[in-house]
Amino acid sequence: MNIVVCVKHVPDAQSERTFNEDNTTDREGVDGLLSELDEYPVEAALQLVDAAQGEVTVLTVGPDQAADAIKKSLQMGAHRGVHVNDAAIHGSDAVATSLILAEAIKKIGDVDLVLTGLASTDGTMSVVPAMLAERLGLPQVTVASELTVEGGKATIRRDGDVASETIEASLPAVVSVTDQINEPRYPSFKGIMAAKKKPVETWSLADLGVDAGSVGLDAAWTTVESFEKRPPRQKGQIVTDEGDGGTKLAQFLSAQKFI
């Protein structure tokens, strides 16, 4: 079984995140890492190939720093990586990203399963898996809390607020998984050393046959018009309980329309 896992390098939530002058996310001036939600599809893919023969390819799109997302995935146990890196990609939205990913997956070829996380922790849109499936002409089963692959089918369990659904799709298929599906492994020392010898290919838009005019900030369907820093937190109000603390609390909550 050949599995492609789409992963993303995102700004560290603990760092001082900001925007560039063109109102795009600053991905080069801040610390970044493999999106936490993408560790779960990597682990799911590894478990599938551990149970049967196969190969896990991790695919990412982004600037030079995005290679760290591939590095972490290879240290976890993935077999090879593909990095689509081109200056023209800067400012691409979800529509353009899905186009680049789809063309890269076609170039990889002979793919049985495409796995993604639930969303990226910087964008949190959760739309790329559906767009990707549409571009590839593949069935999609999304928001999987459990995944099994057997008999040419991918079967997932999707947990809702009041019920759980079991959904099947014939392979090849696109599957997105939640953080309930597994517990991602930590890279071992052996895995870290082995990752240094694993192949990583870097492709440009030209390598994929993608027109640079169809991606990037100028081609984006949505743009950020403006931004401003969050104001500093204000000092809270201290209320001394003189027997009427409950009343004062209720008055405060009522004034804020919490009750």
Q: Where are the domains of the chain?
A: 2-219
Distances (CA, A) of 68 to 11, 145, 210: 12, 27, 24
Q: Could you tell me the pTM of the whole model?
A: 0.85
Q: What is the structure's pLDDT at 185?
A: 95
pLDDT band at residue 121 under the 50/70/90 scheme: confident
Who wins on pLDDT, 219 or 29? 219
| pLDDT category of residue 187 using cuts at 50, 70 and 90 | very high
DSSP bridge partners of 140? 174
Lowest average pLDDT, out of 33-47, 147-161, 213-227, goes to 213-227
- Asked if omega into 129 is within 30° of 0 (cis), the reply is no
| Domain boundaries 2-219, corresponding CATH code | 3.40.50.620
Q: Taking residues 184-196, report their average pLDDT.
A: 96
Strands 32-34 and 2-6, by their bridges, are: unpaired
Count other Cβ atoms within 10 Å, centred on residue 236: 6
Say what the pLDDT of residue 237 is: 79
